[in-house]
Amino acid sequence: MLGEVLCDLQQPTLMSQIIDHGLAKGDLSYVVGHALLMLMFAVMGLVFGGTCGALGSYASLKMGEQLRQHMLNIALLSRDPAGLAPATLITRITNDVTQMQNLVMLLTRGMVRSPMLLLGGVVMSVLVCPDLAPILFVIMPILVIFLLVIIIRSVPLYTKMQRSVDSVNRTMRENLQGIKTIKSYVLENRQQRQFDVENTGLKATSQRAAMATVTLSPVIQLMLNLGVVAALGYGGQLAISQTISDGQIIAFVNYMIQITTAMIQTVNIVTSFSRAITSSARVQAVLAEEPPAETTLTTQVPINSQIEFDHVTFGYEASKPILSNINLTVPTGQWLGIIGATGSGKSSLINLLTRSFDQYTGQIRLGGVDIREMSLTDVHERISVALQDSILFSGTVQGNLSYGKPTATQAEIEAAATVADAASFINDLPDQYQAVVEQRGKNFSGGQRQRLNLARAITPDHDVLVLDDATSAVDQETNAHIKQRLQQTRADKTTLIISQRVTNVMDCQQIIVVTDGRISAQGTHQELIQRSNFYRDLVKTQLGGDQLANE
């Protein structure tokens, strides 16, 4: 970079020498010699500039690649319940990283080259023609002050603009994910109006941010053009009086042009810097959430699959606990049913058991070992979870079913599909287990997605299986078949079932009723009918009064 700048700074001086010593004296050999010297410096500048550009581009692309990978890794490993929302994470991993890439590209070339060319141009113009130097000393302070004012104005506006991008992304994401609901309620116009509000807000904010910097380049161009005019006018008078030579005027004007170029490049850097400084702060907010490196704090191995919750309290905010003083023991091989009203904290129990969140008080033990002293890999090699939200990934049916166990054999996959009552419709597909799964499994019905999701959890055949409303979208007959097969294949393995259906939990050896984050009742189906009003009402509503009479 330094070599490129030095080569560029030689050109006006050589041109001045050609005019004053070559053309003025009619010395053709002097002109040709210095012209060849100018060509040599031009070629050297091209080589230096091309090398710097290539290295800057590589550094920018490599930084973007590694930063995106690192940020996604942080997002996937985060155990903070109050972490950043997906919409803003997407913007930060894409748009904000791109802004930082652009800045790195400019920094590795322009941020060094432009100030050096600017400083070098000022120094050389003073050395070549000291009589015209006062023109620069008037113009440069005005431009520097103007630059600082623009930077102070633009940074807050670009911060606001990035927040508007988040809002647009969030609205777009909600509309696309809820497109069926929107169509079913004929709310297309309403959602379009909502998006127009966010989109118009982004446009307005972007315009204000752009207007804050749009005057930079024209003002710099105007001031330096006025400087060139002043140099030619004042320099012409000095040349007539033979105080300076024509070559000095030409050299000074060329250095003014170089200074103009350097200032305009600096403007572009300032504009990118204004956006990138906001983006860097937002990226830093993601990096600040980086979880501590996983370390195995204990060499103990769970001796069985018994689960214990010992005085566990959890909440996104300390003052608003979702679970309060949970004490629960699930012996190895027992089937536990978990039932309760919506929002009572049932799924939070599973989130803590699978270490989705680690911010709780008390202890959760698996086989006698505190799960926070086990690595995430060890925990998930013992616990499989099938959630109500049946997310499938783009690929094939087999690829999705082997997600929890990449080494699963075809026989293991087919056996799991049979238990989940998915084998029948999989075998009806043209490519069967190699059939394509589109994004989020949208080419399957809700019930089919749930059965594939359940089969995926069954395939690894882990010690503990958790079903969190995993069959809520399937019909009663299919649900009964799945339950029967699970009872046959996991009769002696720990299984936790969260469900709103009494029929799914009534055969469990132990059932707990969760109310407002606490275990309000515990026992078998028959015992809870006697002990829990909530459970008794649920049985009466779903199974009828005859069931209560029989009990």
Q: Please provide the average confidence, as pLDDT, over all residues in the chain.
A: 79
Task: List, in order of start, the domains of the chain with CATH numbers.
Answer: 1-129+244-288 (1.20.1560.10), 307-548 (3.40.50.300)
Question: What is the band of 3 on the pLDDT scale with cuts at 50, 70, 90?
Answer: low
Q: How far apart are CA 27 and CA 29, in angstroms?
A: 6
Mean pLDDT of 192-201: 87
304 φ, ψ (degrees, to nearest 5): -160, -165
Summarised one tens digit per residue, pLDDT across range 434-444 is 888 887 777 88
Mean pLDDT of 365-390: 84
- For the CA atoms of 173, 178, 180, 185, the dihedral, rounded to the nearest 10 degrees, stands at -120
- Beta carbons of 105 and 268 less than 8 angstroms apart: no
**Residue 283 contacts by C-beta under 8 Å, 6 or more apart in sequence?**
67, 71, 92, 96, 97, 100
User: In this prediction, what percent of the chain has a pLDDT beyond 90?
Assistant: 0
Summarised one tens digit per residue, pLDDT across range 41-78 is 778 877 877 777 777 777 777 777 777 777 777 666 65
Question: What is the band of 432 on the pLDDT scale with cuts at 50, 70, 90?
Answer: confident
Most confidently modeled of 182-186, 271-275, 280-284, 509-513? 509-513
Integer CA distances (angstroms), 415 to 25, 190, 453, 459, 515, in order: 98, 47, 14, 8, 37
Summarised one tens digit per residue, pLDDT across range 261-307 is 787 777 677 666 666 666 676 677 666 665 555 545 555 677 888 88
Tell me the β-bridge partners of 464.
Answer: 383, 494
Here the tokens at position 213 are 């910097």
DSSP 10-65: HHHHHHHHIIIIIITTT-HHHHHHHHHHHHHHHHHHHHHHHHHHHHHHHHHHHHHH
**Residue 117 contacts by C-beta under 8 Å, 6 or more apart in sequence?**
5, 8, 9, 258, 259, 261, 262, 265
Question: What is the band of 375 on the pLDDT scale with cuts at 50, 70, 90?
Answer: confident
Question: What is the band of 81 on the pLDDT scale with cuts at 50, 70, 90?
Answer: very low
Choose the weakest-confidence range: 65-74, 75-84, 103-112, 345-354.
Answer: 75-84
**Residue 504 contacts by C-beta under 8 Å, 6 or more apart in sequence?**
337, 471, 479, 483, 497
- Beta carbons of 316 and 322 less than 8 angstroms apart: yes
| Amino acid sitting at position 335 | W
Question: What is the band of 79 on the pLDDT scale with cuts at 50, 70, 90?
Answer: low
Nearest to 481 by CA among 426, 398, 547, 422: 422
Integer CA distances (angstroms), 547 to 64, 143, 237, 338, 464, in order: 63, 87, 112, 20, 31
Order the strands of the 383-386 sheet from edge to edge. Answer: 383-386, 464-468, 494-498, 335-340, 510-515, 518-523
Summarised one tens digit per residue, pLDDT across range 302-341 is 788 888 999 989 887 777 888 888 898 989 988 999 988 8
DSSP 86-145: HHHHHHIIIIIHHHHHHHHHHHTTHHHHHHHHHHHHHHHHHHH-GGGHHHHHHHHHHHHH
Q: How far apart are CA 365 and CA 303, in angstroms?
A: 11
Choose the weakest-confidence range: 249-258, 295-304, 364-373, 525-534.
Answer: 295-304
User: 508: which DSSP letter?
Assistant: S
Return the higher-pLDDT residue of 287 and 479: 479
- Beta carbons of 253 and 232 less than 8 angstroms apart: yes
Tell me the β-bridge partners of 386.
Answer: 467
Summarised one tens digit per residue, pLDDT across range 200-255 is 888 888 888 888 777 777 887 788 888 888 888 888 888 788 788 878 888 888 88
Most confidently modeled of 273-282, 315-324, 514-523, 537-546? 514-523
Choose the weakest-confidence range: 42-51, 86-95, 190-199, 392-401.
Answer: 86-95
474: pLDDT strictly greater than 70: yes
CA 4 to chain centre: 38
194: pLDDT strictly greater than 80: yes
User: 440: which DSSP letter?
Assistant: G
Nearest to 92 by CA among 158, 42, 30, 162: 162
Q: How far apart are CA 60 and CA 67, in angstroms?
A: 10
Q: How far apart are CA 78 and CA 297, in angstroms?
A: 19
3-state secondary structure of 199: helix
